[in-house]
Structure 1
Amino acid sequence: MEISVVIPLLNEEESLQELHDWIANVMQSNRYLYEIIFIDDGSTDASWKKIEELSNKNQSVKGIRFQKNYGKSQALDAGFELAQGRVVITMDADLQDNPEEIPELYNLIVDENFDLISGWKKKRYDNVVTKNLPSKLFNAAARKTSGLKLHDFNCGLKAYKNEVIKSIKVSGEMHRYIPVLAKNEGYHKIGEKVVQHQARKYGETKFGMDRFVNGFLDLITISFLSKFGKRPMHFFGLWGTFMFLFGTSAAFYIGAFKLYKVFNGIKTILVTDNPWFYIALTSMILGTLLFLAGFLGELIIKSKNNEKHYTIKEKLNF
């Protein structure tokens, strides 16, 4: 198997036939051995029926149907687990990604030995206010925090070596940061290719402004996880120790100053009337809690399993 095309979708029945025909034509023209994996993320229209029809006509078409809508990250994760191709291509099902890009993406992975190629929709046909401007701000923040010089982290059209997608776990809404996840796993040959973006032909976008709020929150999460995800004690333990030592030092200072005044016959206020008493106490409690958080984080990492956060209802041709 040379190429696996992984396509997550939600209520895209109108575009599936055209998308399949387009991909199949590209594959046959280039004589690729291929599979198309459609992941139906809880569609409420006739998307799954259309996938069944396509799979009956073309054995290269495979389908995964979720029990309900779990999100794009979970759909990609399910597709990645079952993809067999030497090169894995991801694209959206709304016909805004152009299958004609596949041969060049494939060659960049195979011939130039890239681990991952991310598409860059340099010219977009989206709404400027709701998608283009927020997307530019989001990508600028992602570049700054991740160190990856990509222009379009969220482009659905990407190409991967099979070993890359098998080594990462995509959950939550981390599909935007797959290049960052790959980098964290040691894959550093990550490139970018300008790809053609097309206006949506059928239906409406499934994403609203809230995706950018969630995107920035996920960016903070992945920035933390990339540094301390496998060693939480290095973060929580460090700050916990610092806070505890600060509180202990403040407590000793209060005690020593109190004793000094007592021995010298100087009238003093109660220790509990000194604001530093509460600062010291709070610091010691916070330090202990942070240290325990780091310790618990280490225990969770050691004992966690790779449970799936989705339920597959049906499979086709697997």
Structure 2
Amino acid sequence: MNLSIVIPLKDEAESLPELCAWIERVVTARQYTYEVILIDDGSIDDSWKVIQQLRSANPNIKGIRFQRNYGKSAALNEGFKAAAGNVVITMDADLQDSPDEIPELYDLIAKEGYHLISGWKKKRYDNTFTKNIPSKFFNAATRSMSGIKLHDFNCGLKAYHHKVVKSIEVYGEMHRYIPVLAKWAGFRNIGEKVVEHRKRKYGTTKFGWSRFVNGFLDLTTISFVGRFGKRPMHFFGLWGTLAFAIGLGISIYLIVSKIINTEFAITNRPAFFIALTIMLIGTQLFLAGFLGELIARNAPERNNYLIEEKAGL
């Protein structure tokens, strides 16, 4: 199969018929073999009924329905599991992403050899204060922490080589950081394409301020797990040893001062309590590293490494 189009949605019954008809026109014109996977993330409108109707009319349309709302990351993860196409494209269901972008995105993956192409909605029709300004801040923070030079990490319109979506797990609020997950999985050929951003035609936005807090926490999680997930002692042990050494140095200074001056009262000095606290923190960090190593050692995926190809085996 050439193409899988994964579309997470919640309460988008009005837009689905128009979206699927538009996709069908585009992919049929290019003679792609394709599937459209619609993931209903706990809709309370008639979205699932519409999906069933669309499925009856077009066998290339498939549906997954969550029992309740789990979030966009969970929907994408299930869609990635089900996707069978050589190229996987994700888009939102609200018609703000244009299916006319599909052929160029497909070619960038299938012909140009990119692992991942992220859309960049350079000209937007969102509220500047509530969406554009915060998005610019978090995109800048993500670029700085990840080293990936993309302008719009959160754009729902992306294209992937099938190896990428089968090698990563999306959870929490990680969907906006899929390029970071891909990079940590070893897929470094990541590009960007300016895409059209259209005004919302149906329904209302699902945007919420909480996503910025959750997004920042998820970014720090990705950065930490990507670097130290299989070697936690390298992080906790380093900082634990450093903290313990600082506390020990202060303690030695106080002891030497006491030897030189017998009237020197160690326990009356703030430095004594500071040294004791730092040494305790260092010990706890070091023990946390040991516990992390025990967990990593017994994790079933401890030796799951991505192998690109083999020769002679």
Q: TM-score, normalised by structure 2?
A: 0.92
User: CA–CA distance in 2 between the matches of 1:99 and 1:286?
Assistant: 54
Q: Distance in 2 between matches of 1:282 and 1:78?
A: 46
What CA distance in whole angstroms lies between the structure 1 residues aligned with 2:291 and 2:199? 48
Q: Which amino acid aligns with 1:303?
A: N
Instruction: Give the Å deviation of 1:215.
Output: 2.2
1:45 counterpart residue number: 45
| Worse-superposed segment, 132-141 or 161-170 | 132-141
Kindly report which structure 2 residues correspond to 1:110-259, keeping only aligned pairs within 5 A, or say none.
110-259=110-259
Q: CA deviation at 1:222?
A: 2.3
Deviation (angstroms), 1:274? 2.3
Cα distance between partner residues in 1 of 2:63 and 2:103: 23
Determine the C-alpha separation between the residues in 2 that align with 1:147 and 1:109.
Answer: 21
Greater CA deviation, 226-235 or 198-207? 226-235
Letter in 2 for 1:8: P
- Find 1:292's aligned residue among 283, 287, 291: 287
Aligned-partner SS, 1:8:
strand
The equivalent residue for 2:92 is 92
- Describe the shift of the 1:305–1:50 C-alpha distance in structure 2 as closer, same or farther (beyond 3 A): farther
Unaligned runs of 5+ in 1: 307-318
What is the deviation of 1:223? 2.6
Aligned residues: 301
Which of these residues, 279, 282, 287, is aligned with residue 274 of structure 2?
279
Deviations 1:57-105 (A, max 9, x none): 2111111111211110111011111111000000000010001111111
For residue 181 of structure 1, give the secondary structure of its aligned residue in structure 2.
Answer: helix
Contact in 1 for aligned 2:173/2:211 (Cα 8 Å):
no
How far apart are residue 150 of structure 1 and its match? Answer: 0.8
SS in 2 for 1:167: coil
**CA deviation after TM superposition for structure 1 residue 305, in Å:** 5.4
User: 2 CA distance for matches of 1:202 and 1:300?
Assistant: 48
Task: Letter of the 1:295 partner, please give it.
Answer: F
Query: CA separation in 1, counterparts of 2:59 and 2:148?
Result: 38
**Equivalent residue, structure 2, for 1:310:** none
Contact 2:92 2:156 in 1 (8 A): yes
Matched with 2:71 is 71
Distance 1:178 1:111 in 2: 22
Alignment-derived partner of residue 304 in structure 2: none
Q: TM-score, normalised by structure 1?
A: 0.90
For the residue of structure 1 that corresponds to 2:188, the secondary structure is: coil
What CA distance in whole angstroms lies between the structure 2 residues aligned with 1:89 and 1:229?
A: 29
The letter of the residue matching 2:211 is: R
Structure 2 distance, partners of 1:7, 1:296, is 40
- Could you say which residue in structure 2 is the equivalent of 1:28? 28
Distance in 1 between the 2:104 and 2:158 partners?
11
The RMSD of aligned alpha carbons is 1.5
- Identity between Structure 1 and Structure 2 (%): 63
| Deviation larger for 21-30 or 2-11 | 21-30
Label 1:302 to 1:51 Cα distance change in 2 as closer, same or farther (>3 A).
farther
